[in-house]
Every structure is written in C-alpha cells, then in structure tokens.
Amino acid sequence: MASTFPKIVFGRGPIGPSGQLPSFPDEESIEKLYKLLEERGVDTIDTGHVYGVSEEWIGKTGGGKHFTIDSKTPGGLIPGSSTGKTIPQHAKETVEQLGVDKMARATLICATGSMDREYHY
C-alpha cells in the first residue's frame, strides 16, 4: 500500500552567507542543517536562482550529493529575466554551482503575462 504521507521538501530561502532572511551563514551551520534533515528523513532541498549564493553554497558543502535538489528560475520576480534564452542558462548555472549532473526539478515561479512566450519545450 502506498504511503499516505506527503513528501517533505526543505525550502526556506537562502542557504549560505546571503544577507537575506535568517540564514545558515557558514559551513558548520549548513552541515548541522543537512544532518537534521537526514535524521528527519528529508531528502529534497528546494532552492532558487533568486536566493543569492544559496545554490553555490549547497554545491560547496556537498548538498547536491546527499539530497535531491529542486530549483526555480526567477519568472516574474525579476522582469525580463525569464526568456527562451535565459531559462536554460539558469538551469545550466544551477547544475554547475551544485556540482551535480542534473537537478530533479526546475520550476518557473511567479509567471506573468509579460514573459517571453516564444520559449518552447
């Protein structure tokens, strides 16, 4: 019988010394976070291109090797930043920063009617 519990994903904004929101400002605090997540059975971290150095620090501390990583491209949060050219570029940068071969999910957030409609899958 399939589990009736929802999948738990850790997503709370920046990881690393970003200056945004309360953060995990150094490797020691990030390692403690990873340990806590693993102890609680959380295997996925949600991050985003707009979280400053978060993806870089997740990669720097090996998070991409221990967790499934979902990321987001800015969408309507940064007008003009999500086009047919920049969306794949964001994904490429994310994979490189995380030090992984691929990410599990890339999401376009805050889509608006003014976004480039020429992007085709």
Over range 69-76, report the average pLDDT. Answer: 81
Is residue 71 in some structural domain? Answer: yes
39 is a domain residue: yes
Is the pLDDT at 105 greater than 70, yes or no? yes
- Is 6 within a domain? no
pLDDT at 110: 66
Question: Is residue 64 in some structural domain?
Answer: yes
Question: What span, in angstroms and rounded, lies between the C-alpha atoms of 22 and 89?
Answer: 28
Higher-pLDDT residue of 22, 28: 28
CB 39 within 8 A of CB 47: no
Share of the chain above pLDDT 70, in %: 81
Q: For the chain, give the percent of residues with pLDDT over 90.
A: 32
The DSSP secondary structure of 66-113, one letter per residue, reads HSEEEEEE-GGGSTT--STTHHHHHHHHHHHHHTSS--SEEEE-S--T
Q: Do the Cβ atoms of 46 and 39 come closer than 8 Å?
A: no
9 occurs within a structural domain: no
Q: Which domain holds residue 87?
A: 27-108
**pLDDT for residue 37 is more than 70:** yes
pLDDT of residue 33: 95
pLDDT at residue 78, as a whole number: 74
Mean pLDDT of the 85-95 span: 87
Average pLDDT, the chain: 82
Asked whether residue 121 is domain-assigned, the answer is no
Q: Work out the pLDDT band at 11, boundaries 50, 70, 90.
A: confident
Number of structural domains in the chain: 1
